[in-house]
Amino acid sequence: MNGSKTYFPAIATRQAEMRALGRLAGPTKDLLLPLIKLQAWPRIKQSDTGFVSRSLNELFEAFGARRVIIDLASPRYDRESEAVACGRAEISALHAPIEGFRAWVDLMRLHAQFIPVVQWTIDQVILRQEVQELLALDRGLVFRLKRSQNWNRDGIDLLGGISFRGSRVLVIVDCEQIALRDDLTLLASAAQSTILYAKSKLAAPDLHFVVIGSSFPSSFSDIHPTTAKLDIRERQIFSLLKESPPLLRQGIQLQYGDHASVYAAERTPSFRGSPRVDYPAPHRWIYHRRPASEGFGVAAKAITDEDDWDKALLCWGAQEIRRAAAGDVAGLNSASPWTAVRINVHLHQQAHFSAGGASVIEEAWTD
């Protein structure tokens, strides 16, 4: 399942995230094993069979036939329209635990490159049926343990007696949204306890662990009205855990993931304030905000003037920042494309930093 993959980003099937993923260079994509949070696309074409199938088409266009981990996003309730209601109904049907999550298992069966994530339920019979049927697909299996769900320990407890021998099992320990006030040592300790608990409960000889989270903020004006440099706190948690003696004694080689520089908690749509350009470096995010009268080009120029700016960085998002800094903001004069730019740079940086290599990719990209 893991192979040569070095980075495990959680990415939803949303327009900005699919655009950012699709514009990565091929060699960079090859370093990723993304955790795709499947949600309904907000609109469909006549040729689409549904809102979920449109999301899958967008994923295939962005990432090709490469293997991906597939999980389910929660149904959308952020706004109401006929399309959103139809999409929500499709996602809700996949969440239904009927017959061992039959709809979910059937969807996974249709796509050979999908590595399935187990959907949790407190019904032991249904959960165990789902796990056995997903194991029968012979693609490996993923458990996602969420901080907000008490790390899903009650679900792990229901799996006693199931043998995972012959299957590669990946456990994703999801710290979810990491607030500025969160004590990282305590959070890392909780994640470590979860890893050790899962290892003790799962009869899986081929067992692997990834820790993910997001400290990307929901608001920037509260931090600083014009500019700031923010530590990537999920990287700090990973650093605390990677060399942890209790994990090393258990032979656990932890791998890194995150929420791809996206705020991980529920919220209303963001980035409606002043023009802002973000620059993700390997260990921190740098942002510049400017008044509407100055615009995104001025913010981009402030980014390229930073000492942290990597002049050798050639990914699509970095090129878009350079273009805007030079005065060309065609297609970049609103908030949405800048979200894709940030995510693209972040994915590129973290993929190559995790791989321990240079971030320059000598491969042309096309827009």
Helix (H, G, I), strand (E, B) or coil at 213: strand
Helix (H) or strand (E) holding 317: helix 316-325
**Percent of the chain clearing pLDDT 70 (strictly above):** 93
| Distance, CA of 284 to CA of 342 (rounded, Å) | 12
Looking at residue 79, its pLDDT comes to 65
| Distance, CA of 50 to CA of 56 (rounded, Å) | 10
Residue 252 has pLDDT above 70, yes or no: yes
Helix (H, G, I), strand (E, B) or coil at 173: strand
- Structure-token pair, residue 302: 């402030």
Helix (H, G, I), strand (E, B) or coil at 284: strand
Each residue's pLDDT tens digit, 23-51: 999 999 999 999 999 999 998 888 888 99
Paired sense of beta strands 284-289 and 276-280, if any: antiparallel
40 and 52 Cβ atoms separated by less than 8 Å: yes
- Phi then psi dihedrals of residue 221, to 5 deg: -65, -30
Q: What is the mean pLDDT of residues 54-64?
A: 97
pTM over 0.85: yes
Tracing tokens 């229901």 back to the chain, one arrives at: 158
* Domains in the chain with CATH codes: 8-218+226-266 (3.20.20), 271-367 (no CATH)
209 and 271 Cβ atoms separated by less than 8 Å: no
Each residue's pLDDT tens digit, 319-366: 999 999 999 999 999 999 999 999 999 999 999 999 886 544 444 434
